[in-house]
Amino acid sequence: MSQSIKLTIDAVVFGYEEGKITVLLIKRKYEPFKNKWAIPGGFIQGDESLEQAVERELYEETGIKINYLEQLYTFGQPERDPRGRIVSIAYFGLVRPDAFKLFASTDAEDAQWFSIDELPELSFDHKEILELAIKRLQSKITYEPIGFELLDKKFPFSDLEKLYSTLLGRKVDRRNFRKKIVGLNVLDELDEKVSKGSGRPANLFQFNQKRYFQLKKEGIIFEI
Amino acid sequence: MSQSIKLTIDAVVFGYEEGKITVLLIKRKYEPFKNKWAIPGGFIQGDESLEQAVERELYEETGIKINYLEQLYTFGQPERDPRGRIVSIAYFGLVRPDAFKLFASTDAEDAQWFSIDELPELSFDHKEILELAIKRLQSKITYEPIGFELLDKKFPFSDLEKLYSTLLGRKVDRRNFRKKIVGLNVLDELDEKVSKGSGRPANLFQFNQKRYFQLKKEGIIFEI
DNA sequence: GCAAAAGTGTTCAAACTACACCCATGA
DNA sequence: TCATGGGTGTAGTTTGAACACTTTTGC
C-alpha cells in the first residue's frame, strides 16, 4: 500500500531589523511559479529528521543558520500543489540580526528579506502558511521567551520593548513592561552600556536561558 | 526526486466517562507490535484531505465519529517505525459521551477505551504522541472552549466543573468557576433540570457556539 | 427531617493600568 | 545648553482567591 504522496518541508524564517519584522523568501527557479517568491523548503531525504531537513534546505537555499526552530503545521490539502499530491510540514524559525550580515556575504540573489507588511505575491498556499506563522509568532511571544531570539544576544531594554510593541501591534508602557520582564527574573543586567548616537546610553541585558529552564521546571511560567 | 517516505495519520481520541479522561486505542492485528495496543491510524489515500483520512480511519477501525478534531503534531524521526521511513501526522479528537454507546454497538473488539491513568504499553512512539496530546488538551481547555465537546450537549454545571478539575488536576472553586464561565457569556441556561438521584436537581446548560464565534470575532477571548 | 448536591456574595490580596519627571550623554 | 533616548515610583482600578450558608429534591 505504497503512496504516491510526496513530503516536503517549508520554513518560515523571521528576522527583526529596523523595527520591522521580516521574513526570508526565495525566488523560485523552476515551474510551477517560476520566478515567483516562495517560502524556502524542499524534499526530505530518507535518512534525516524533519528538523535536519529544514536546516539543510535553509542552508542550501539561503546560506542562513537559524537559532530557533519549531514545527508549525502540516499542510496537506490534495490540491495545494499543481504537481500532484504534496504534503508539507511547515516550520517556523527565528534568526538574530547578525544572521543578516552573514547572509549578505553569501551568494544568494534569489533569497531576500521582506518586511511582513510589504509582502510580494506568494506561490502555492504559502500565503496561508506565512499568515499562520505570523499568528503563531504573535501569540507565542506572550507565553514563551522566544522574542530574545530575534535580538542580539546583548540588547538594550528598549529593543525588546520595541519588538514586543511591533509584534503585538500596540504601544506598550515602558515602565510596566520593564517591571513585568524584570519580575520574570530571566534577564541578566550586564555591566555594559551602549549608546545610540544621542541620548543617555542604555544598559545591556542578556537572556538567561539556564535560569528560565530552571524556573520553568519549578512551574513558574513566562507570561507577558 | 521521488521519496520512499510514507505518510500516515494517527488520531488520539479522548472521551470523558465517570470522571475519567479516556482514550481510544486499537489492538494491532499485524506485525510489528502485533497484539499490542496503538493509537488508531493508517495511510492516507491519494485523493483525500488529512482530516478526511483521520475520519475514515477512525470509522473503519473503531466505528466512531468524532465531533472535534485538530492537528496535533507531525512525527518524523527516521527510526520511529521499524518498517522504514514513516512520517505520521498526529491529530487529536474529542467525542461526546453518547459516542460510547454508539461504539459499543459496533463489532469492534479490537478497539477499547482506556483511562489515561491506566494505559497499556503502546506501540511505536505512540506513548510520546499520547503524552503530547494530553498536554495539548490540558492547556487548550484553558483558552478555547473545547471542554464542552467532551460533555453531552446539555449538561449540568457540575459536570463541566468536574471535567475541568479532572483535566487540570486540581480542585476548582465552584463559585469562582461558575462566575468565570457565566461571565464569558457563551452558555445558555435551559429551562430543564436534571436530577442525579439524590440532591437538588441541576439546571442544564448548553454551549452557544454562535455567540462564542461572535465574541471571538470581536476580540473577546475565552480564558479560564 | 435528613442526606445530598445545587446555588449564591463578600472580603481581602495581588496584579494591572495609567501616568510624569529626572538622568546621562553627544553635539 | 539643548536635544535625545534611558531610567524610575505611586495611586487607583480591576481581577483573582478564599470561604460558608441556604435551597431543593429523594428517601
Please tell me whether residues A86 and A23 are part of one structural domain: yes
How many beta carbons lie within 10 A of that of residue A20, not counting itself?
Answer: 14
Number of domains in chain B: 2
Whether residue B45 has pLDDT greater than 90: yes
Please tell me whether residues B167 and B86 are part of one structural domain: no
Where does a domain end: B117, B140, B163? Answer: B140
Nearest-CA residue of chain A relative to B49?
A: A77
* Predicted TM-score of the model (pTM): 0.94
Count residue pairs from A and B with Cβ separation < 8 A.
Answer: 64
Please tell me whether residues B64 and B130 are part of one structural domain: yes
Instruction: Please check whether residue B138 touches A, CB under 8 A.
Output: no
We report the CATH number of the domain holding residue A191 as 1.10.10.10
Tell me whether residue A163 is in a domain: yes
B178 touches strand C (CB under 7 A): yes
At residue B20, what are phi and psi to the nearest 5 degrees?
Answer: -120, 140
Q: How many residues comprise chain A? A: 224
Where does a domain end: B140, B159, B186? Answer: B140
Domain span holding position B174: 148-218
Please give the pLDDT value at position A142: 96
Q: Would you say B133 and B12 are in contact if contact means Cβ atoms under 8 Å apart? A: yes
Please give the pLDDT value at position A2: 42
Q: How far apart are CA A17 and CA A104, in angstroms?
A: 14
Using a CB-CB cut-off of 8 Å, the residues of chain A touching B2 are 6
Please tell me whether residues A152 and A135 are part of one structural domain: no
Tell me whether residue A223 is in a domain: no
At residue A158, what are phi and psi to the nearest 5 degrees?
Answer: -65, -30
Q: Please name the residue that has the C-alpha cell 503530547.
A: B132
Where does a domain end: B140, B171, B198? Answer: B140
Please tell me whether residues A176 and A88 are part of one structural domain: no
Digit-by-digit pLDDT tens for chain A (224 residues) are: 444 899 999 999 999 999 999 999 999 989 899 999 999 999 999 999 999 999 999 999 988 999 999 999 999 999 999 999 999 999 999 999 888 766 655 555 689 999 999 999 999 999 999 999 999 999 999 999 999 999 999 999 999 999 999 999 999 999 999 999 999 999 999 999 999 889 999 999 999 999 999 999 999 999 99
We report the CATH number of the domain holding residue B90 as 3.90.79.10
Whether residue B3 has pLDDT greater than 60: no
Whether residue B172 has pLDDT greater than 70: yes
3-state secondary structure chain A: CCCCCEEEEEEEEEEEECCEEEEEEEECCCCCCCCCEECCEEECCCCCCHHHHHHHHHHHHHCCCCCEEEEEEEECCCCCCCCCCEEEEEEEEECCCHHHHHHHCCCCCCEEEEECCCCCCECCCHHHHHHHHHHHHHHHCCCCCCHHHHCCCEEEHHHHHHHHHHHHCCCCCHHHHHHHHHHHCCEEEEEEEECCCCCCCEEEEEECHHHHHHHHHCCCCCCC
Tell me whether residue B1 is in a domain: no
Please tell me whether residues B177 and B72 are part of one structural domain: no
Digit-coded pLDDT (tens) for B62-111: 889 999 999 999 999 999 999 999 999 999 999 998 887 666 555 556 89
Please tell me whether residues A117 and A162 are part of one structural domain: no
Please tell me whether residues B175 and B67 are part of one structural domain: no
Instruction: Please check whether residue B23 touches A, CB under 8 A.
Output: no
Q: How far apart are CA A43 and CA A63, in angstroms?
A: 17
Kindly determine whether residue B44 and residue A73, on different chains, have CB atoms separated by under 8 Å. Answer: no
Please give the pLDDT value at position B103: 65
Tell me whether residue A206 is in a domain: yes
- Return positions of chain D under 7 A from a protein CB: 3-10, 16-20, 23-27
Kindly determine whether residue B3 and residue A48, on different chains, have CB atoms separated by under 8 Å. Answer: no
Please tell me whether residues B34 and B131 are part of one structural domain: yes
- Return positions of chain C under 7 A from a protein CB: 3-10, 16-20, 23-27
Please tell me whether residues A205 and A95 are part of one structural domain: no
Tell me whether residue A204 is in a domain: yes
Please tell me whether residues B180 and B135 are part of one structural domain: no
Please tell me whether residues B131 and B49 are part of one structural domain: yes
DSSP conformational letter for B56: H
Q: B220: which residues sit within 8 A by CB, 6+ positions away?
A: none
